[in-house]
Amino acid sequence: MFGKLFKKTDYKKLLDEGAVIIDVRSQGEFKGGAVPGSENIPVGNIPGRIKQIKSLNTPVICVCASGMRSGAAKAQLAAAGIEAYNGGPWTKMLKYVD
């Protein structure tokens, strides 16, 4: 019953298969440290970039400082038909990147 609710996302596998990381923090936060290779699109800019993100045709892992903004971004992307994941804090994602 709870299997799907608590299913762990295999971020390493997603990244190995070509997923991209979008950091939805502000530009200033992003400049202070980020996952190597991630793209910075502040959460407020996501709606205007949906078409571009969709054209990547690959899963998207959203990250931020705590997981709140990345959760909101994931919901916006998923509503647009994009396979999206909430990766939570960007620092957590560092262990999955080579």
Residue 3's pLDDT is: 52
SS (H, E, C) the chain: CCCCCCCCCCHHHHHHCCCEEEECCCHHHHHCCCCCCCEECCHHHHHHHHHHHHHCCCCEEEEECCCHHHHHHHHHHHHCCCCEEEEEEHHHHHHHCC
| pLDDT one-digit tens code per residue, 33-66 | 999 999 999 999 999 999 999 999 999 999 999 9
Residue with tokens 């994931």: 74
Complete domains list, the chain, with CATH = 11-96 (3.40.250.10)
